[in-house]
Structure 1
Amino acid sequence: MRNPRDVFRPRPPSRPRFSRRSKIIAGLILVLLLAAILSLRGTARMWTDYLWFDSLGHGDVWTEILVYRIILSVIFIVLFFLLLYSNLAIADRLAPQTRPPGPEEELLRHYHDAVGHRRRLVSVVLAVLFALIVGGGTGGEWQKAMLFFNSVDFGIEDPQFGYDIGFYVFRLPFIQFLISWVFRALIIVAVLTAIAHYVNGGIRVQTTGQRVTPQVKVHLSVLLALIALVRAVGYWFDRFGLNFSSRGPVDGASFTDINAQLPAINLLLLISVLSAVLLVINIWQRGWMLPVTAVGLWVIVAIVMGAIYPAIIQRFRAEPEESQKEAVYIERNIEATRHALGFDKNPGDDNTADNVTTIAFDPDTSITVEELAGNPSVRNIRLLDPDIVPNAFQVEQSERTFYTFNSEVDVDRYEIDGEITEVVIGARQLNVADVPQQSWEGRHIQYTHGYGVAVAPVNSVTTQGSPDFTVGDVPVVTSPDFELSRPQLYIGENLTGYAIVGATIPEVDYTEANETVPFVYDGEAGVDIGSFFRQTAFALRFGDINPLISGFVDSNSKIIFNRDLRLRVQNLAPFLELDADPYPVVSEGRVFYIVDAYTTSNRYPYGQTPDISDLPAGSGLRKDFNYVRNSVKVVVDAFHGTTTFYVIDPEDPIIQAWRKIFPGLFEDFDKMPLDLKNHLRYPEDLFRVQTSMWARYFIDDPETFYANSVTWAVAQDPGTRITARTFVDELTEAIAAEETATAAATRQLERRIRPFYQLLQLPGEDDLDFVIFRTFVPVSGSGDDEDERKELTAFIAAKSDVGENGDLGEYGQLVVYTVPGTSIPGPSIVDAKIQADTEIADAFTQLNQQGSTVLQGNLLMIPVGDSLLFVRPVYVQATGETELPQVKQVIAGVGNDDDFILRIRPTLDEALAALTDPGGLSVLPTQPTAPEPDAGEPAPAPTAVPSESEQGPIDDDTRRALSELISELRATQESIDQDRQALDGLIEELESLLDSPSG
């Protein structure tokens, strides 16, 4: 029998074996391919970036920035390479002919055997590698370099060292970068050089004889002396950094900084120079005693004089008499901060803020019909809350799911029927995520743009309580006051991706009656994409091959990208900070966006760093700064894509420097079209910063400033909405959450009332101004939980209107009205009175139908004549898919803390009439009317009462009958109030029984 092992079995095919060399070559090929792809994509991105800049007429900006980046990187790479390679070459030349035997030699012998005569190549490779690491990132300092070489004087000297502010803003940052880079580079070179000497045998740690050769000692001593000298230079410029110290009660060099820290820095400077001298002398000395002594002294002085001594001076000399010791430095801080934040454009010895006008205003506690009827502010009282009505815009004006409005509409003013009228405006933008065709063709060729705007006057609503749109719908419907011949929006807020226009198939303009209306773009936006190379470049940039292979793209096609307007502006001018709220403007038949841009610096001596916690998340001012100017208004054409930077503050030294660098990027303000000038707004982010700072910096006297006894605070935010609930609902929630009223109030501590835009006739002025407005209350204390002071102490307005001839006029002027005493309630007190008012509570109960929510709009304080009027619109929003908020009631109030009158009525006219005269039916000079509801729709309570001239005169008998009816209704209301009080007493008795001990 045969052995099974003898049976022939075919051998399986063997796998091909690759040699180690083949694997290495294959790996290198893959790495090279990956690097080539990444390099190609990076090159494509650079080229397409340039094409985008060039299409906007600013290719020189891209080129200038790139040149600075390359020059900086090349200079510092070459500098470090020469520095390191020369020292490595010296180390090789100083290597001993024979290396002493010992355990270290055994470790290094393998290295020398491998390197052999290739030591120079190793030095070159090491120098190139470290040069790329240390010098490659310096291109990111291009802004500091540009400002250094194009610096401008402020014409103001810092009070401590006597240098112009421009030295700190433009030159010092780049100088400190240079010193820091050289210091770090020398340390790296010294360490690598010491390692080279060790490898070459010039340094031996474990030998019993000479551990460092004399030549190596000379070499290292020179390097260490250079490091000490560079540090001495650093100490010299560190002195100027004291101007930004935060050690004292305010920012800037304090008593301790000047009398302790500055002498310590000077002493450390001298010790650094002494150390350098001792290191040079050590060349001719045996051992390392002198440099070790110098370094030890350096460390001791740095600890004792640099940290301990200033702390002692601060604790035992400054703090016990801080108000006196710091008075001169607080005065410096006040003057510097006022100029740096725009309160004082011309600082001088008078210590006044020339951009702020302060007026005493003692308001009456009542208001008359004549004051209401004759005041244009009343006609523009805002019934449409920008925080609430976006839902109405979305429901009534989005038209299709692929259109959307921002979560907050904007406030502006337009001429309507011959009168300047405040409006809310929102752009109907493209929602790429919801276009009906989600193919590449649908997202990038067919659905390419938004469509038009919706505009509604703030003082008028329809009979249902919805916005009364003057401009709206798709296709766009306008009034004679608006021309919108190019409603297409190719640029917008948060608009992502890219669009290809001029393709062989038309775009979708809009849909009407289930039919698609085509559109062929004929504007200026976009980059030509007709050639093969450009199509390839954009395919690489976006990681999408379709622009290259699609038959819809031809020689007439253009690609529009960077469509988000903030990204567009930031790419063109990355050195500007942007406001969080760009806003659309209808002008010249198109939609433009205006973006407020800021120049900032954190290098203004003695300037106070503002609290930025009040700023919205998207604000460019959420950063460390102590100088700011709204120097530029950027106008972006949503149809043509053009982006123009208009300089509104040519006196700003920072914008002067950038104009020297990029002269073709900026335009003078007088070149802005007058119609756009008429829609400028004082920026909200800047106003937030200024109001939070002026609350303390209105004080001139340093001692009063330090005492913080008369400081203001921005008024507490009463909130913008509540849900009306029954007493049982509130009681159930309170028991479940175990919260008291105090705990509920604590949640509001850090919320401050938001500024609001309003057309107002300010007290003492004849004209109607478009202003941004905010209120102040007295500061309660320094603790986070001290926020009980809520009475009105002042209010501030910043003017936004330019002159009639197009100059700045009064634009940017700040007007502060101080309110004497403590009797006028602030917004939070008025809000509390609203919540406690029984008439208003009954109205809320009636409005709170099943499935609906009652929302309270912003509480507005409006100066009217010699009085202060408080107005709040009340919305009802049905829960469901639409959630359409509608104005159903208006609350109006006036008075002081002890005698405050509140009224709630279906219309503003009725509420104001109830405030002044129970029998009065109209006080507004002209009440805007709204169209009737569509047939079949239920009409709720009317939202406008016709004026007396419209309904005819009221005879005496009718007036007497109305007065008797009102008296009867008031008697009924008093009876209801008595019943409510009896019910409250019964509830208290029941609660006391519930709290009694059980028996």
Structure 2
Amino acid sequence: MRRAQDLPVDRPRRRVSGRGVLIALGALFMFVLIFGRAIARFYVDYLWHQSLGRGDVFWGVIWAKLTLFVLFFAIFAVVACVNLFIADRTAPSSFPANVHPYVERFHEVFGQRLRLVRYASALVVAVLVALPAVSRWQDWLLFKNAKEFDVADPQFGADVGFYVFQLPFLTFLFDWLFVAVILVLLFTAATHVLNGGVVFVSPVPAIRQATKAHIAVLLAILAVLKAGDYWLDRYKLTNSQRGIVDGATYSVVKAQIPAIMLLILIALLTAGLYLSVIKTNSWRLPLVASALWLVVSIVGGVIYPAVVQSLIVNPNQQTREQKYIERNVTATREALGLTDIEVRDVQFGTLTASEVESDLAPLGNVRLLNPTEMETRFLVDRGEVAGLTIDDLDVDRYDLDGEVEQMLVAARELELKGVTNRSWQGLHLINTRGCGLVVAPASRVQSNQRPDYRTLELERPELYFSPELSGYGIANTESTERVCDEEHRYEGDKGVRMNSVARRAAFALAFLDYNVLGSGAINDDSQMLWVRNVNDRLNKLAPFLSYDADPYPVAIDGRAVWVVDAYTTTSRYPYGESIGAVQRSPDSGLSNSDNYVRNSVKAVVDAYTGEVTFYVVDNDDPILRAWRTAFPDLFTPLTVMPDELRNHLRYPEDLFRIQTDVYSKYRIDAELFFQRDGNAWSVAQAPGSSPTSTTRTPAQTAASEAPSAAANTFATESDASRFVPYYTMFDTSRPGEEAKEEFVILRPFVPFSTGDTRTQLQAYMTASSDPETYGQLTTYVVQERNGQLPDGPLRVAGNAESQSLISERISLDNQDAGGSKVRFGDLQLVPVADGLIYVRPYYVAVPQSSGDVEQVTEFRFVIVSYNDNSVLTRTISEGLAQLFPGFEGDVGDRIGVPAEPGAGDPLEPDDQPVLPSDAAELLLLADSLFIEADDALAAGNLGLYQSKVEEGRQRVADAIAILEGSGLAADPGSDGDAGVDGGVDGGVDGGVDGGADGGDADPESQPADE
């Protein structure tokens, strides 16, 4: 029968006070504030993936992360709770009388809730230790979907796939288990103390036998886990950097690996001794074993291998390391795609005028307009409009007048910092897109020295997505968007529709921007365009790929798309040499530690809709095959890519830089490793883009580039810049075959020399970008003629600048601070018939008095070099006529007016304003006078030079007076399609900038730039 005091008591129902309501509302507000934005960001991320049709990627990543969290949480929670349960079961039946006061106080505070506190604490720690595992989702998916490389490592015989796919996750797992068991050990020890299993008395704590056994088992488990970690460490040594090359070299194989095997035995022995405590009740032997373990780990793992390296390997490296260098050379070539290179021998002889005339096609492909130098020219002529910019120029090829030509291509991207309407509507609803592409043939200029701009007819010129665009935009609102060619509403379906209050609220909270929720301009048809930066978009969708630093635009099917080279990489290819700090492109997505790189994917982003497609280029890449297993619907076969787009694929510059840098060292076999002089190569030294950097002498180079530890490294350790690869149309036919021009990327080599003193041309490598031969690497090895190699780029550039007439011209154009500056384009080597000609554009950067651009780079001349002779002329044809007397050919690098389009040609010439006939005649006459002035200067006739310049200035002034009367010379800040850019710049700059401005022209005689 229940006692009266045990019966339930009726308690009055509490009424909710206003204070309670306020507390509840405050708690709800704090919850929304803390967790609401995270939930909103999760939701809008889901909407973003769904809008692109990539919900499979979103949920695939989520499930991978959730699986890891649950798995590691469960492991720790189970192990911790089991050990806490054992500690409770082995606790003394009665609480000791002499426990520590802190223990007593702890029991007083928690009482019967002590067990609950322990288990709850274990679960909280389980959450904390499981969170780091979530970040390893990529390693987990590769572990799950591992593939074979069908290549065994030479040390342990394991497939390379084990190192790339399984070893990283196993290493993390053992490290995590080791830490987890330590935490469980601490929990267990604390529980035994609180239960009375350990009593702190002098001189040593009193520990019950059951407690000792429990702790000893946990210590034994730690020793076994460390033994397993040592076992994995052996495999990681195949990427050791202890020796002369990366990989397990002599000291690693003969000293470090045996030391690790000894440590494994000691660890297992120590584990056994800890288990013996259960019977012996003594800690002496396991503690002695632990001390021995520590000593062996220091002596055997660190000191002994270092002694072997210093006393046995270094005095006789060539013999000791030969076997391991062979492994490194083989692995590096395979990992970086250097095993299938075609090698051809070439020899350059003397040329005659008739031989040059018979082979003009290679000279017609020389690029006069350098992307880097012409960026400001394009910006001022075609992109300097409020809210639009031209940020980058790229080289591609298009069919022009029935011939495939190199073209400079630029996108007129949206630049929000230049938008004049700084309101929220102006930044997010009105200015939402860039406008169209600007192109010009790279191998020709007009007679006014300007690019021959062409218009790519795009059905949809709007660029809602581009490489430099950030933030968000909302299309199809009540506000009228910026007009490109005509008023247009976004017709894509890859944005997130704002057709509910919940969605608008989620975006407002995620972006912390109330206007998204409160604006009346947003309707149900509006679409949120988010993650508009091209590389950010790709990284968000496929973060496990690395991306090239230079997306480039392509016109296809009436719209623009961005093409981005995507790489699969790893730093775990056994014996592969890491790419290190090679001179890659700025902001390269590749890492110094990578030792395996494949350009397995071409990512394409539609600049109008934002749709993303990942085309598979390399079906044999095991890493990509693993990701295709994880995300089977994410990738598209290359066969589906439109042929029109395939014709615009480029071999990636980042990859080519790495391959040429590594190939220069690894083209030789291991037995020649220590005879680098005369066998190894170096990437050619780069002529500087300005006269001061180009004229660096070999003596200066040698003084600053003396190698450190030169006997022990392949690399040319110097501060000299290396030749930057360039794209060009190149004849890849063999002697006797019909000429075959392909779009390639090219980079030259010089013989390796200590101190970097040799500058002769030893070879050059090309990589094809044409669909039929895409990715074919070809090395052209230059053979000596009369015991000598031809001059390389640095020497040719230096010799050209040292010639008196060229040097004088540089002095005239290279003015003091605030004045014009001479700049050089790519020095291009051009095999012609049986000879070699170098061509280099000559630019002048002219200061601007208005606009956002401080200097505009103008094309002025071209330097043509053959053997030891160099000339500075306005056209390549003129230069050839001076170098080869009797030459009467025409390379076609200068045109008077834009060429007429061919039938069906998508490239149309820009409309040019019609000048009054008398002004046009005056400007043409002035241009001729300035040319005569330059010729007089070149001949050393300063009197005639001054007379011609003054006469030319007068003709320009007369033309300006006529133009001002017609009103055509107005609005200097207008777009390049009208007024001053189309007319006055085309005529006046052709004379003033082309002639007098190159010398000592009066700035007041240059109204076009004013």
Report the equivalent of 2:806: 840
Shift of 1:704: 0.6
Preserved contact between residue 372 and residue 378 of structure 1 (Cα < 8 Å): no
Report the equivalent of 2:722: 752
Preserved contact between residue 470 and residue 533 of structure 2 (Cα < 8 Å): yes
Preserved contact between residue 888 and residue 943 of structure 1 (Cα < 8 Å): no
SS at match of 2:566: strand
SS at match of 1:691: helix
Whether 1:924 and 2:891 are equivalent positions in the alignment is yes
Corresponding residue to 1:361 among 346, 370, 387? 346
Report the equivalent of 2:747: 774
Preserved contact between residue 723 and residue 853 of structure 1 (Cα < 8 Å): no
Q: Tell me the amino acid that sits aligned with residue 796 of structure 2.
A: V
Taking the TM superposition and a 5 Å limit, the aligned residue runs for 1:238-257 are: 238-257=233-252
Measured in 2, the distance between the counterparts of 1:111 and 1:550 equals 58
Shift of 1:552: 1.3
Structure 1 926/396 Cα, relative in aligned 2: closer, same or farther at 3 Å?
Answer: closer
Q: Tell me the amino acid that sits aligned with residue 497 of structure 1.
A: G
Whether 1:872 and 2:844 are equivalent positions in the alignment is no
Compare 191-200 and 588-597 and name the one that shifted more: 191-200
Q: Tell me the amino acid that sits aligned with residue 185 of structure 1.
A: A
Taking the TM superposition and a 5 Å limit, the aligned residue runs for 1:712-723 are: 712-722=681-691
Structure 1 233/450 Cα, relative in aligned 2: closer, same or farther at 3 Å?
Answer: same
CA distances 1:609-654 after superposition (whole Å, capped 9, x unpaired):
1123411231111342111100000111101211100001101111
Whether 1:597 and 2:597 are equivalent positions in the alignment is no
Q: Tell me the amino acid that sits aligned with residue 72 of structure 1.
A: L
Measured in 2, the distance between the counterparts of 1:296 and 1:845 equals 75
Report the equivalent of 2:792: 826
Preserved contact between residue 600 and residue 621 of structure 2 (Cα < 8 Å): yes
Taking the TM superposition and a 5 Å limit, the aligned residue runs for 1:184-203 are: 184-203=179-198
Q: Tell me the amino acid that sits aligned with residue 278 of structure 1.
A: L
Structure 1 79/971 Cα, relative in aligned 2: closer, same or farther at 3 Å?
Answer: closer
CA distances 1:660-698 after superposition (whole Å, capped 9, x unpaired):
111101011110000010001000000011011001110
Whether 1:388 and 2:373 are equivalent positions in the alignment is yes
Corresponding residue to 1:446 among 430, 439, 445? 430
Measured in 1, the distance between the counterparts of 2:500 and 2:630 equals 33
Report the equivalent of 2:462: 488
Preserved contact between residue 148 and residue 170 of structure 1 (Cα < 8 Å): yes
Measured in 1, the distance between the counterparts of 2:887 and 2:749 equals 33
Measured in 2, the distance between the counterparts of 1:28 and 1:89 equals 38
Report the equivalent of 2:531: 562
Preserved contact between residue 372 and residue 864 of structure 1 (Cα < 8 Å): no
Report the equivalent of 2:967: none
Report the equivalent of 1:436: 420
Preserved contact between residue 489 and residue 639 of structure 1 (Cα < 8 Å): yes
CA distances 1:573-627 after superposition (whole Å, capped 9, x unpaired):
1100001111000111100110000000111111111123411231111342111
Shift of 1:928: 4.4
SS at match of 2:610: coil
SS at match of 1:508: coil
Measured in 2, the distance between the counterparts of 1:921 and 1:203 equals 103
Whether 1:279 and 2:274 are equivalent positions in the alignment is yes
Preserved contact between residue 651 and residue 767 of structure 2 (Cα < 8 Å): yes
Report the equivalent of 1:499: 473
Taking the TM superposition and a 5 Å limit, the aligned residue runs for 1:710-749 are: 710-722=679-691, 742=700, 746=704, 749=719
Report the equivalent of 2:299: 304
SS at match of 2:32: helix
Measured in 2, the distance between the counterparts of 1:552 and 1:969 equals 65
Whether 1:811 and 2:806 are equivalent positions in the alignment is no
Whether 1:214 and 2:170 are equivalent positions in the alignment is no
Whether 1:327 and 2:322 are equivalent positions in the alignment is yes
Report the equivalent of 1:656: 625
TM-score normalised over the length of structure 1: 0.84
SS at match of 1:519: coil
Preserved contact between residue 922 and residue 945 of structure 1 (Cα < 8 Å): no
Shift of 1:566: 0.4
CA distances 1:265-302 after superposition (whole Å, capped 9, x unpaired):
11111111111111111111132112102212211221
Preserved contact between residue 651 and residue 774 of structure 2 (Cα < 8 Å): no
Corresponding residue to 1:422 among 406, 411, 417? 406
SS at match of 2:276: helix
Measured in 1, the distance between the counterparts of 2:768 and 2:250 equals 39
CA distances 1:410-452 after superposition (whole Å, capped 9, x unpaired):
0010000000000111100001112121111111111110000
Q: Tell me the amino acid that sits aligned with residue 226 of structure 1.
A: I
Report the equivalent of 1:8: none
Q: Tell me the amino acid that sits aligned with residue 749 of structure 1.
A: D
Q: Tell me the amino acid that sits aligned with residue 863 of structure 2.
A: I
Shift of 1:491: 0.7
Measured in 1, the distance between the counterparts of 2:427 and 2:496 equals 18
SS at match of 2:263: helix
Preserved contact between residue 464 and residue 886 of structure 1 (Cα < 8 Å): no
Structure 1 968/180 Cα, relative in aligned 2: closer, same or farther at 3 Å?
Answer: closer
Shift of 1:365: 4.6
Measured in 2, the distance between the counterparts of 1:788 and 1:151 equals 47
Shift of 1:109: 1.9
Preserved contact between residue 446 and residue 895 of structure 2 (Cα < 8 Å): no
Structure 1 87/842 Cα, relative in aligned 2: closer, same or farther at 3 Å?
Answer: same
Measured in 1, the distance between the counterparts of 2:45 and 2:320 equals 56
Report the equivalent of 1:13: none
Q: Tell me the amino acid that sits aligned with residue 807 of structure 2.
A: A
Whether 1:225 and 2:220 are equivalent positions in the alignment is yes
Measured in 1, the distance between the counterparts of 2:914 and 2:484 equals 24
Measured in 2, the distance between the counterparts of 1:893 and 1:321 equals 47
Measured in 1, the distance between the counterparts of 2:939 and 2:845 equals 30
> Structure 1: which 5+ runs fail to align?
1-20, 345-354, 472-477, 512-516, 804-808, 947-961, 977-999
Aligned residues: 885
Preserved contact between residue 365 and residue 894 of structure 1 (Cα < 8 Å): no
Measured in 2, the distance between the counterparts of 1:105 and 1:23 equals 44
Preserved contact between residue 464 and residue 939 of structure 1 (Cα < 8 Å): no
Measured in 1, the distance between the counterparts of 2:468 and 2:770 equals 28
Output the aligned Cα RMSD.
3.2
| Identity value in percent | 38
Preserved contact between residue 560 and residue 608 of structure 2 (Cα < 8 Å): yes
Measured in 1, the distance between the counterparts of 2:938 and 2:376 equals 37
Measured in 2, the distance between the counterparts of 1:558 and 1:133 equals 39
Shift of 1:871: 1.0
Report the equivalent of 2:548: 579
Preserved contact between residue 337 and residue 608 of structure 1 (Cα < 8 Å): yes
Whether 1:204 and 2:178 are equivalent positions in the alignment is no
Shift of 1:30: 5.4
Measured in 1, the distance between the counterparts of 2:207 and 2:134 equals 39
Report the equivalent of 2:156: 161
SS at match of 1:884: strand
Q: Tell me the amino acid that sits aligned with residue 432 of structure 1.
A: L
Preserved contact between residue 800 and residue 811 of structure 1 (Cα < 8 Å): yes
Structure 1 829/745 Cα, relative in aligned 2: closer, same or farther at 3 Å?
Answer: farther
Corresponding residue to 1:398 among 372, 383, 399? 383
Q: Tell me the amino acid that sits aligned with residue 407 of structure 2.
A: V
SS at match of 2:524: coil
SS at match of 1:130: helix
Taking the TM superposition and a 5 Å limit, the aligned residue runs for 1:3-152 are: 33-102=29-98, 105-152=100-147
Q: Tell me the amino acid that sits aligned with residue 447 of structure 1.
A: N
Preserved contact between residue 701 and residue 757 of structure 2 (Cα < 8 Å): no
Shift of 1:519: 2.1
Shift of 1:108: 2.4
Corresponding residue to 1:885 among 844, 850, 857? 857
SS at match of 1:634: strand
Structure 1 63/608 Cα, relative in aligned 2: closer, same or farther at 3 Å?
Answer: same
> Structure 2: which 5+ runs fail to align?
1-16, 706-717, 899-911, 946-1010
SS at match of 1:292: helix
